[in-house]
């Protein structure tokens, strides 16, 4: 089941056909160890501190994914590093 949900071609169907909110799907994908970005208060605060305006969920999600590509990092690893950094109060 995890492999099916991690398949990027399946994810849009989950969002729109199953009425899953984007954050819920992102959290599910993170729990299943898929390479994914699930935004929370830590990732939002990090973005604001970096000068990124307060964006809607989908737009900020796209920013994190694009940054991962530009830096040559896995998007899930980037999310985890930012979360660890912010959750320690750094």
pLDDT attached to residue 43: 85
**29-77, pLDDT tens digit by residue?**
666 666 567 777 888 889 999 999 889 888 988 898 899 999 999 888 8
Positive/negative CA dihedral, 23, 24, 28, 34: negative
Torsion angle of C-alpha atoms 80, 83, 89, 90, degrees rounded to 10: 60
Q: What is the band of 25 on the pLDDT scale with cuts at 50, 70, 90? A: low
pLDDT attached to residue 71: 94
Q: Of 3-7, 50-54, 60-64, 82-86, where does mean pLDDT reach its minimum?
A: 3-7
Q: Where are the domains of the chain?
A: 2-87
């Amino acid at each position: 089941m995890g492999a099916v949900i991690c398949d990027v071609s399946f994810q849009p169907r989950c969002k729109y056909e199953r009425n899953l909110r984007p954050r819920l799907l992102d959290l599910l994908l993170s729990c299943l160890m898929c390479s994914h970005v699930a935004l929370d208060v830590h990732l939002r605060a990090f973005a604001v501190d970096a000068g990124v305006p307060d964006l809607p969920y989908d737009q900020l999600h796209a920013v994190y994914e694009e940054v991962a590509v530009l830096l040559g990092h896995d998007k899930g690893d980037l999310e985890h590093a930012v979360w660890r950094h912010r959750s320690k109060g750094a």
